[in-house]
Amino acid sequence: MATKTQELKLDIERTGTVSAILTLPDRARACYVLAHGAGADMRHSFMEKTAEGLAERGIATFRFNFLYMEKKHGRPDQPAVAHAAIRAAVAEAARLCPGLKLVAGGKSFGGRMTSQAQSKAALPDVKGLAFLGFPLHAAKKPSSERADHLSGMAIPMLFLQGTRDELADLSYLKPVVEKLGPKATLHQVEGGDHSFAVLKKSGRSNDEALTEVLDVLEAWIDGLA
């Protein structure tokens, strides 16, 4: 399957301009607006492998930098600034990929900011949110307050979580997902950490664990109305 990769600039209203990448396979059937985590930009190897793996599965991705990462500031943007970037990315992905099923979310911080944006005002045409390691709490400080805003959302949500994820104690995350009801799906990656990396003694590689993640994500996207 041939894939086109396009380097772009994304204008964020009243904020600035950031870099973006559209990875568009031939005969794509969906586009995933993929936001990066707090500590690494859209070109991080995890983001690259995710985009490549989804392209092989016929799913386009629209990646973008948050403003703080584009300007190489240390601290992540304030939520309102991050939300504006996500809204701009969703709108641009919809413009560039007309007719494709649209989903949004991303890695850790990027996924959480996407869910916050959705909770404040629905992201136009987005059919579901997929979280690649939802950061439920700070390391070694288990709680579930960061998920409180999810309860008011009506669209489907997919939580892909490693069982060794230090930012999402499963004894806290599972009740959150159960409370959300049938709109929420939790898939546990056995032995995976916050980035789905596994220990050597597990008998499988990090690439094999990521393949599991992408297979589950593909099936979930295909199942969305």
Domain count across the chain = 1
At 109-131, the pLDDT tens digits run 999 999 999 999 999 999 999 99
Q: Residue 201 is part of which domain span?
A: 3-223
Mean pLDDT, residues 163-168 taken together: 97
Q: Which amino acid is at 28?
A: A
Mean pLDDT, residues 51-71 taken together: 98
Task: Give the confidence band of 74 by pLDDT, cuts at 50, 70, 90.
Answer: confident
192 within 8 A of 185, measured Cβ to Cβ: no
Q: What integer pLDDT is reported at residue 216 of this predicted model? A: 98
Q: What angle do CA 17, 157, 170 make, to 5 degrees?
A: 110
The model's pTM: 0.97
CATH number at 61 reads 3.40.50.1820
Q: Is residue 1 pLDDT above 90, yes or no?
A: no
Q: What contacts 9, CB < 8 A, 6 or more positions away?
A: 17, 18, 19, 20
Q: What angle do CA 98, 100, 101 make, to 5 degrees?
A: 135
